[in-house]
Amino acid sequence: MLLLSCSGYMSPEYAVDGHFSVKSDVFSFGVLVLEIISGKKNRGFFHQDHHHNLLGHAWILHNEGLFVELIDAHLTQSCYMSEIIRSMHVALLCVQRNPEDRPSMSNVVLMLASEGALPRPKEPGFFTERNMFHEAETSSSKPTISSGNEFSFTEVEGR
């Protein structure tokens, strides 16, 4: 389960089963679009009302019709809101759990360039709620050995 929480841009099928396809790149693209629009990173995202990642937060706002709340304040002053909201909708289509449900990149380009109706997205991959209290309790009560960004060398010597 640790892999799932560290996989900011990885598609579920790649992170869990090691299956990579062009739809894996579509998933990553969708995450990047949501990060650009929100001004926040998927990994390490925090919201006071829940413990979902950025994908989960975007999904909740989409279902509640509050997509506008996800948009970074800097974008609201310089862009067309209809284009931003459409981009967010397309991004949610890109991060759907099943690769078969995600559009191809050529379809993504067509959806972004047109004004036609878009299909309703399904639940995104990695839409899980983290238990922040349990994670904090576990990490503070058990010492961990970590090398940070350090490295070590091991020499093998014959006898």
> Which residues make Cβ contacts (< 8 Å) with residue 10, sequence separation at least 6?
24, 27, 28
Residue 122's closest CA among 68, 55, 66, 70?
55
CB-facing half-sphere around the CA of 86: CA atoms within 13 A: 16
Rounded to whole angstroms, how far apart are CA atoms 18 and 68? Answer: 35
**Do 88 and 34 meet the contact criterion of CB atoms below 8 Å apart?**
yes
Sign of CA dihedral 104, 110, 113, 115: negative
pLDDT (tens digit, 9 = 90+) per residue, 59-114?
888 989 888 888 888 887 777 888 999 999 999 999 998 999 999 999 999 999 99
pLDDT tens digit sequence for 132-159:
433 444 344 444 343 444 554 556 676 6
Run of H or E residues at 24: helix 22-38
